[in-house]
Amino acid sequence: MDSPPSSSSRYEEKPLKTGGTPEYAREKNQSETGTLACAGRITETGSSDWQSAENAANYAQLQHYRKDLTARFLILVAESDLEYGFSSALDTFLRERLAENALATKDWLNALFVEHFGHVAVVTGILRTVAHLEYDEVRPEGLTMALAALSHANVEVKECGIRAFESWARPECLRILEQLGGLEQWMQEYVNQVIADLKEELTVDVTART
């Protein structure tokens, strides 16, 4: 399916830099203790739910990602060629982190998405990358991020959210797209085409299994 035309961003974001650390990567770091900026499944060290060794290991890994790898992640967003259908250095980087600790990686990625929601380049970079991954690798955080993208003021971010649903091609993705409303006419036409394609693809898949 041809990509719909993009329109100019209505967000005023800090520019990406081609060398060194992007401007937003140098913004004030969050505290290394306490909860995430968004709902995650890894609790803070002082929580009464902090019982198991597995949770302790996940929390330690999450803090490592946030403290030591966030700047690297943002540099990869700035420097990688993030095209649909083509693997990038950022794809490889995230797959390696998922292999290390999927739970901590998804919580970290979700936090980055929220913290940089005003930076279109970062948000679209995350969405393009999770769209390349298998749905089960990034659920439920991937689904949540794609859904949040549909409420963004920037149409490129909205488009990336729709394309993530299109790439995953799951029944829940179809149900979400069918409930969308209030979109610009060209984007609604795009969504309608994606819905039609998903219905056909999912019908063929069910038929093949029977």
Angle at 136 between CA 133 and CA 142, to 5 degrees: 65
> Would you state the pLDDT for residue 55?
86
> Would you state the pLDDT for residue 204?
74
- Separation between Cα atoms, residue 110 and residue 129, nearest integer Å: 13
> Would you state the pLDDT for residue 29?
43
| Residue 190, pLDDT above cutoff 50 | yes
CB neighbour list of residue 120: distance below 8 Å, 6 or more residues apart: 9, 11, 13, 154, 156, 157
Task: Identify residue 166 by its one-letter amino acid code.
Answer: E
Could you report the per-residue pLDDT of 99-141, keeping only the tens digit for each? 999 999 999 999 999 999 999 999 999 999 999 999 999 999 9
- Look at residues 47, 18, 21, 20 and name the one whose alpha carbon lies nearest to residue 35: 47
What stretches of 6-154 show up as alpha helix (H) in DSSP?
53-64, 70-79, 89-100, 102-115, 120-132, 135-138, 141-149
Task: List the chain domain ranges.
Answer: 44-209
| Residue 11, pLDDT above cutoff 50 | no
> Would you state the pLDDT for residue 42?
59
SS3 content of the chain, % helix, strand, coil (to 5): 60, 0, 40
CB neighbour list of residue 50: distance below 8 Å, 6 or more residues apart: 43, 44, 56, 59
Q: If you average pLDDT over every residue of the chain, what do you get?
A: 80
> Would you state the pLDDT for residue 41?
60
Of residues 49 and 88, more confidence is placed in 88
Across residues 10-33, what is the average pLDDT? 44
Could you report the per-residue pLDDT of 146-175, keeping only the tens digit for each? 999 999 999 999 999 999 999 999 999 999
> Would you state the pLDDT for residue 32?
38
